[in-house]
Structure 1
Amino acid sequence: MELKIYKDKQEVAERFSAYFSELVKGKTEVHVALSGGSTPKIVFDVLASDYGDNIDWNKIHFYWGDERCVPPTDDQSNYKMTVDHLFSKIPVPERNIHRILGEADPIGEAMRYANLLEINLDRIEGVPQFDLVILGMGDDGHTASIFPHEIELWNTQDHCVVATHPDSGQKRVSINGKVINTAKEVAFLVTGAGKAEKVKAILEKTEGFEAYPASLVNPRSGKVVWFIDAAATAKLD
Structure 2
Amino acid sequence: MPKLHIYKNEKETCYAFAEWLANLVKETLTKQDRFTIALSGGDTPKLVYKILATDYATSIDWTRIHLFWGDQSFISSPDEKYNPTLGLKNLIDDLPVSKNHVHSIRTDVSPQDSATEYENLLRTYFTEPESTFDLVILGMGEQGNLLSLYPFSEESHHAGSWVMPVYDKQDDLYKVTLTISAINASAVKAFLITGKKKEDVVQQVLKGKYEPEKAPAQLIVAANKPVHWFLDEGSAGKLIKPSY
Change over 3 Å in CA distance of 1:59–1:77 after alignment to 2: farther
Residue of structure 2 in register with 1:111 after alignment: 116
Residues 113 and 160 of structure 1 are in contact (CA less than 8 Å); yes or no, is this contact kept in structure 2?
A: yes
Partner Cα separation in structure 1 for residue 23 and residue 77 of structure 2: 30
Indicate yes or no: 2:121 matched with 1:120.
no
1:146 maps to which residue?
149
Contact 1:66-1:145 at 8 Å conserved across structures: yes
Gaps of 5+ in 1: none
The answer to whether structure 1 residue 163 and structure 2 residue 166 are counterparts is yes
- 2:52 aligns with 47
* Cα shift at 1:15: 0.6
Counterpart pick for 2:194 among 187, 191, 204:
191
Specify the alignment match of 2:36 in structure 1.
31
Partner Cα distance (1:189, 1:71) in 2: 27
Name whichever structure is richer in helix by fraction: 1
Q: CA contact under 8 A between 2:152 and 2:213: conserved in structure 1?
A: no
What are the Cα deviations for residues 28-76 of structure 1, in whole angstroms up to 9, with x where unaligned? Answer: 2011100011111111111111111211111000001111113596634
Where does residue 176 of structure 1 map in the other structure?
A: 179
Q: CA RMSD in A?
A: 2.1
Paired amino acid for 2:209: T
CA distance in 1, matches of 2:69, 2:77: 13
Aligned pairs (5 A) from 1:127-138 = 127-138=130-141
Amino acid at match of 2:143: D
- CA shift in 2, pair 1:72/1:168, >3 Å: closer
The aligned residue for residue 10 of structure 1 is 11
The one-character-per-residue Cα deviations of 1:126-150 (angstroms, maximum 9, x if unpaired) are 2451100111001111011100031
Larger RCO of the pair (alpha carbons < 8 Å, separation 6+)? 2
Moved more, 29-38 or 205-214: 205-214
> For 1:213, what is the secondary structure of its paired residue?
coil
CA distance in 1, matches of 2:125, 2:210: 40
C-alpha spacing 1:46/1:90, structure 2 compared with 1 (3 Å): same
- For residue 192 of structure 1, what is the amino acid of its counterpart? G
Partner residue in 2 for 1:20 = 21
Output the TM-score relative to the length of structure 2: 0.88
Using the TM superposition, give the Cα deviation of residue 117 of structure 1 relative to its aligned residue in structure 2, in angstroms: 0.2
Check 1:119–1:199 CA distance in 2 against 1; reply closer, same or farther (3 A cut). Answer: same
Q: Which residue of 1 aligns with 2:95?
A: 90
- Which runs of no fewer than 5 residues in structure 2 stay unpaired? none
Question: Contact 1:131–1:183 at 8 Å: present in 2 too?
Answer: yes
SS state at 1:42 partner: helix
Amino acid at match of 2:63: N
Secondary structure class of the residue paired with 1:234: coil
- What letter corresponds to residue 86 of structure 2 in structure 1? K
| 8 Å Cα contact 2:62-2:96 kept in structure 1 | yes
